Each structure stands twice: as structure tokens, then as C-alpha cells.
Structure 1
Amino acid sequence: MDIPRIFTIRESGHRIHNPFDDAKLAALGAALRLEPGARVLDLACGSGEMLCTWARDHDLTGTGVDLSTAFVAGARARAVELGVADRVRFEHGDAAGHVADEPVDVAACLGATWVGGGVPGTVDLLRRSLRPGGLLLVGHPYWRLDPPDDATARACLMEGRDALHPLTGLLEQFGELGCDVVEMVLADQDGWDRYAAAQWLTTRRWLDEHPDDELADRLRAELRAEPVRHARYQREYLGWGVFALMDR
């Protein structure tokens, strides 16, 4: 049980697997005003940067769950590096349907709402682990600019224009799910650049080391096309943010 190897190759140099940088992640942690000792569940945690840095900076405890063996190994190593291995733990497993053994103060899913089949299902899934009065964190894309057609949406790696809301529509959706939006931190275009462009260098170096790998031709084609696609579409049309929610 693991994610496709191509994703691990592209993002093997990433500590944060979304368009946030260190400063945005730290700003989010500070904005939530979490008490020392707060318990956090992070579904599809990637390389564990949120849990590890927040444990260091805010004295939190927590559990991360991710399907990637490589990312979980990286998260465990990062916890040791930051001296928080006694406060956070990382499980290799499918985050879809995962519920904490005991209620947590913060239940998070940043950029992987597929675990609940979309935003509504993910909110419901996170609720199952949350104590009364706790915080839900959902990281999700939205249309920064309205794409003119479905082809543009697909170039942003979405199924079509209807796959996402604009920011106002996403905020309204959270309200319709019975949540108050109590904080949000949004990525910017520089964050998209760091997330996307870092993959290009990682990919090129991997190709230089593995020229005959079965994925090499596919990744060479991606490397030729991705900078233009990113600049023309993803960078212009796609927004991304983390939204803190509380049940009404």
C-alpha cells in the first residue's frame, strides 16, 4: 500500500507538499492560538512538517497518517531532527476513514480532501476525531481567477470549471456544512512557484541519475512542458488556502 512512485520522485525534495512555505505554515500555527499540549491529528500528513514544527514551536502532540512510505519515513526523521519524536508519531496507512482513538483538539487535512471524497466528506471525517469546540483545518484549492473554459481548468489539473469554487463560494460551502470559518491563511503565487518549481530541479537530478528508468520518458516530457503550463495556468488561475473551522 503506497502512493504511485512518480509522486514520490517529483516531491522527494519537499518538506511541505502544498503551496505553503515555512513562513505561511508558521503563520497558520500562530493564528490558531493553540494551547501547549493540544492534540492534533493530521490526515495525509506528507512529510510531517506541520506536526513537527508546531510541536517544536507550540508544544503540541500529535499523530500524522499518510499512504506514502517514503514521506512517513521522512516525517519520522524530521521529528528526530527537531527533537520532537517524543511528542509526535507518524503512521503509514490510508487516511481515508481514519478516526483518532481519542478526541483531538485539532483535526486537519491539508490538500487531500480525496480522503473524504471531497470537502463535505472530509469535514465529516474530521469531525469524527474532534472534541467538542475543537478546530477543523481543511486545506483546499479554489479558483483565484475564473477559468474561461474547461480546457483551462484541465490545464490546472482539475476536471473542469465546476470542479472548484471561487474563494467566496468555498467559504459559503463551509457555512452550508454547519461550520464557522474562524481563520484562514492563503497561499500566494510565490508559494505556487516554490511548490511547482522545486519539482523541476528534483526531477532533472533524478533523471540524470536514472536515465533508463521505466518512468524516465514520462518525466522528461513533463519537465519540458511543466514550466510553461505552470506559468500560464496554475500560477494564474489556482488559489489554495487552509481554512480553520468550528462547528456551530
Structure 2
Amino acid sequence: MTTPPHRTRLTFHGPLSDTRADAVVRRLVRHRPTTVLDIGCGSGELMLRVLATAPEAAGTGIDLDTDDLARGRKAAADRGLASRARFLEESATGTTRGPADLVLCVGSSQALGDRLPEALGELRRLVTDHGRVLLGEGFWQRTPAPGELSRMWPDAAVTDHHDLATLVDLAIEAGFRPEWTETASLDEWEAFESGYLADTEVWLAEHPRHPLAEETRQRVDRHRARWLAYRGVLGLAYLTLVPTA
């Protein structure tokens, strides 16, 4: 039976362009990391780009999604990086995989704690004193209206995120200085969200009477409605953080 394709057009599982990713990688490898830890790595695309740029480095990605981990292992093998990249199926809660010279945590802080200060404290624990952390974290670009919140994810609340200034302040309070602060553009968000759904939308158009069509249509329509509700309201910050002595 033909099944709907899933995420085949995405390079990253988040609003991140190739141009930004390459610039981020160049910045992250300037301090010559030899150990890389990727929290909630998914298929580990950013970690693999770091390893390709820093040949002296070895990386460990941890995640609970077996399909993403399998894609990561295949990508590492295809690029000749399998000897330096490990993909482990395990929880990041209380992980003992650190400290590492470079810690990547992009859209995955919830894996380290229910509250952001707790997650930032864990990131400080997991990075070496002269290392770097790349934190990709959501923030409100403006306070969402009640009607907007009601159309986002279930039980969405203003307290789900901070504004950008508060996010940076929390990182400083956790023992970091922000070396670089940047945010995903609207183009990056639209490319990500459209790419997330594109293949499935095409499949629905071509298989309108498929036994899975109605269930798939409801799921896709629900996802699209949510992201159009937070479009221009929810941002994603990429913070390059330096641990303080």
C-alpha cells in the first residue's frame, strides 16, 4: 500500500537555511572542538557538518527517534564520517555524555528540563569551560493574542516562551555570555514549514480516495493551521554561548 511520504524535503528539522547553517558551523569550529555533543540530534545534520569542517573532532548525537537516528548513521557513512559520529538512542535527561567542547541543542531544550533555566543549567554542566553551546530556542516575537494562542498547539499559553531579551538574560544567569545572537527569518520559517508538509500535500492531491487519505488530511490541515497561527509570532533564536569562568 502506498503511504504518505514524511519529511523528505527537509535538510534540518527546524527553520535553518544552508547559508545560516554554514556560517554557524564556521563560527563554532573556530575554537577547534575535539568533542561534540548533539542533544535531541534527530538525523544530526548540523553535527555532521561540524565534523566535516573539524576533522579532529568526534561527535555523539542522542535522540529517541529511531528513524531519525538511522538516517543520521546512513548520512555519516555516506560522507565518510562513521568512525567519528555516534548516534545513540537514549534520553538526554541527566545524561553523562558530557562535558564536550561543543554542545548543540537546537529545538531540544525540553529534553534537558521542563523549565528553561533548568535546561540552561544542564547545558552549562555539559560543556567544557572553554567550549561553546549552540542553543536554538523559541521565543515570542510579540505577545500572542488569545485568539492566536487558541489556534496554536494544544493548551498554548503566553508562558510557553519568553521574549528574546529575557531568553538572553536567562542564558547569562545560567553562566554564559552570548557570543552571537541571531534569529530565524520568515523565509526560513516558511521554507521549513512548507517543506515539512509539501510531499504529503502532493500525495493527498494524487491519492484523494486512499484509505489513509482522510486521516492524513486531518493531520496535515491541523499542522498547517497551527503554523499559520504562530507565523510571525513565534521566533527561533540561535544563540552561540560562551561559558563564563
Q: Cα 1:218–1:122, aligned 2, differ >3 Å: closer, same or farther?
A: farther
The one-letter code matched in structure 1 to 2:221 is R
Alignment correspondent of 1:196: 193
Q: Residue in 1 aligned with 2:48? A: 52
How far 1:239 sits from its partner (Å)? 0.7
Does the CA-based 8 Å contact 2:124-2:175 persist in structure 1? no
2:132 equivalent among 125, 132, 135: 135
Give the aligned partner of residue 187 of structure 1: 184
Report the TM-score, using the length of structure 1 for normalisation. Answer: 0.84
| Residue among 99, 105, 108 paired with 1:112 | 108
> Corresponding residue for 1:159?
156
Find the residue that maps to 1:165 and give its secondary structure. Answer: coil
3-state SS of 1:106 partner: strand
Distance in 1 (CA, whole Å) between partners of 2:242 and 2:75 is 30
SS in 2 for 1:243: strand
5+ long unaligned stretches in structure 2: none
Aligned 8 A contact 1:147 1:161 in 2:
yes
1:52 CA displacement = 0.9
Unaligned runs of 5+ in 1: 1-7
Distance 1:169 1:126 in 2: 17
Residues of 2 paired with 1:201 and 1:68: CA distance?
21
C-alpha distance in 2 between matches for 1:164 and 1:217 = 33
What residue number does 2:217 align with?
A: 220
Q: Which has the higher contact order (CA 8 A, sep 6+)?
A: 2
The DSSP-based 3-state class of the residue aligned with 2:95 is: coil
**Percent of paired sites with the same residue:** 25
* Aligned residue-pair number: 236
Aligned to 1:34: 30
Q: What amino acid does structure 2 have at the position aligned with 1:242?
A: Y
Q: For residues 52 and 236 of structure 1, what CA distance do their matches in structure 2 show?
A: 30
Please tell me the residue identity of whatever aligns with 1:133: H
SS in 1 for 2:16: coil
**2:97 pairs with 1:94:** no
1:103-125 CA-partner distances (Å, limit 9, x unpaired):
31012211011112232222222
1:126 equivalent in structure 2: 123
Per the alignment, residue 238 of structure 2 pairs with 242
Using structure 2 for the length normalisation, give the TM-score: 0.85
1:145 to 142, 145, 151: 142
Task: Indicate if the aligned counterparts of 1:29 and 1:54 stay in contact, CA closer than 8 A.
Answer: yes
Looking at structure 1, the residues matched to 160 and 31 of structure 2 have their Cα atoms a distance apart, in angstroms, of 36
Q: Give 1:25's aligned residue.
A: 21
Residues 225 and 103 of structure 1: is their aligned pair in 2 closer, same or farther, counting only changes over 3 Å?
Answer: closer
